[in-house]
Structure 1
Amino acid sequence: MMNSNASHANHHSFILTVSMAFDRFVAIRNPLHYASILTHSIIGKIGIAVLTRAICVVFPVPFLIKRLPFCHSNVLSHSYCLHQDAMRLACASTRINSLYGLIIVIFTLGLDALIILFSYVLILKTVLGIASRAERLKALNTCLSHICAVLLFYVPLIGVTMIHRFGKHLSPVVHVLMANIYLLLPPVLNPVVYSVKTKQIRRRIIRVFQRRKNRT
């Protein structure tokens, strides 16, 4: 009940960006040992860790909300069930819910952001150690799609947080619009970002459009 299923997908896509940061670091730092470091076993363990963390984060929330009595308006400011919105409608103390939400933000999004930042500090250190300018640009180019994916998550997240915190006087339409942008933009555009940077996928997309153009 913390968010809709699609909102949880945003959280999972951000976990994916953390994994991609590690992937890019290994690919640039140890390209010859990439296959031996990121084996199928390691990838499987990462997947299990992601699933376990997602369950641990989401599972307690419905029970925290269910224990609260509700006697106010049932109109939410977002187009999906946001934990903060539901707490506002409660007629009892929501201190436990607020504390849980703060802990989750610190130990998930905050920790993930630090891991991504640390990964890119190491990546930049490695890239700057490359003698050839062309090779440096090529190495940085491999990270471009991942950087775009991170920005696609963070920019809408910061926007919806600012609106939720400081835009209480704004029209409800603004709240709904920002909530929907945060909900839909990252999962919709992430595949586009990665496909544009992948030559094989890009060629297939161009062929599909060329075939449709020829048919018309």
Structure 2
Amino acid sequence: MCLILAVMWIFSVAFFAVLVGLLTRLSFCGSTVVNSYFCYHGPLHRLNCNDNSMNFVMARMCFVLLICLPLVLIIISYFCIALVLFKISHNVDRTKAMKTCTSHLLLVAIFYIPLLSNNIAVVLTSSIHPNVRIINNSLTQIMPPMLNPIIYTLKTDEVMQSIKDLYKRNKVNVTKEKSIKCRRKN
């Protein structure tokens, strides 16, 4: 486990050191205003004056290694999980396992859909409106951590039962209020 963590830390530090090193060799002309509120290398590429083809190659490698590869591994692992789920004969066990998987897949989708749409739009159109990019990046950074506790809390039976009881209580109260209003009108 420690070896895996060490390799990942070394890989991440080395990879991003190369990206930062490539950014330092760029020269900027004209406006140096970056339309972003956090560190993102895409807008910097558009502001430079010299050749940045190596930066684009590294950006694509970064996209493939850090975004696409984990997504492919997640899809493969869930395909294997689906195969195992179809072999489970007991419906209760299958349903319980599917609840766990769907909540995780929902969070994966919430993370990857804005991220992939941002990168695919850049590839297809060669540019994306800065506000769209900022909103997509914000959704990618804010939504999964914000929704994670909510989604996993809704999985617990006690919370779901409390929500159902609250819904029934409110439904009964609304029904009583409607019947009282109907009697007053008559």
TM-score normalised to structure 1 length: 0.62
Report the CA distance shift for 1:189/1:55 in structure 2 as closer, same or farther (over 3 A). farther
SS of 1:143's partner is helix
Q: Which residue of 2 aligns with 1:149?
A: 107
Superposed CA RMSD in Å reads: 2.8
Report the CA distance shift for 1:194/1:51 in structure 2 as closer, same or farther (over 3 A). farther
Aligned residues of 2:122 and 2:128 also touching (Cα < 8 A): no
What aligned pairs does 1:104-115 form with structure 2 within 5 A after superposition? 104-115=62-73
- Which of the numbers 183, 191, 194 marks the counterpart of 2:141? 183
Aligned residues of 1:160 and 1:182 also touching (Cα < 8 A): no
Structure of larger gyration radius = 2
Tell me, which stretches of 5 or more residues in structure 2 are unaligned? 164-186
Per-residue deviation, 1:143: 1.2
- Which of the numbers 93, 101, 124 marks the counterpart of 2:51? 93
Aligned residues of 1:69 and 1:90 also touching (Cα < 8 A): yes
Query: Structure 2 CA distance, aligned partners of 1:158 and 1:107?
Result: 13
Post-superposition CA distance 1:162-189 (Å, at most 9, x none): 565649585x544433332233222322
Report the CA distance shift for 1:173/1:108 in structure 2 as closer, same or farther (over 3 A). closer
Query: Structure 1 CA distance, aligned partners of 2:60 and 2:121?
Result: 18
Aligned: 1:70 with 2:28: yes
Partner AA of 1:190 in structure 2: N
Query: Structure 2 CA distance, aligned partners of 1:175 and 1:81?
Result: 13
Post-superposition CA distance 1:116-157 (Å, at most 9, x none): 111011101111011122221111112122111101111221
Q: Which residue of 2 aligns with 1:103?
A: 61
Query: Structure 1 CA distance, aligned partners of 2:146 and 2:107?
Result: 11
Query: Structure 2 CA distance, aligned partners of 1:60 and 1:74?
Result: 22
Query: Structure 1 CA distance, aligned partners of 2:127 and 2:64?
Result: 24
Aligned residues of 1:68 and 1:90 also touching (Cα < 8 A): yes
Bigger RCO of structures 1 and 2 (CA < 8 A, at least 6 apart): 1
- Number of aligned residues: 160
Q: Which residue of 1 aligns with 2:10?
A: 52
Aligned residues of 2:34 and 2:43 also touching (Cα < 8 A): yes
Partner AA of 2:135 in structure 1: L
Aligned: 1:133 with 2:91: yes
Query: Structure 2 CA distance, aligned partners of 1:102 and 1:71?
Result: 24
Partner AA of 2:15 in structure 1: V
SS of 1:69's partner is coil
Tell me, which stretches of 5 or more residues in structure 1 are unaligned? 1-41, 207-216
Identity %: 27
Partner AA of 1:128 in structure 2: F
Query: Structure 1 CA distance, aligned partners of 2:112 and 2:3?
Result: 26
Larger deviation, residues 143-152 vs 83-92: 143-152
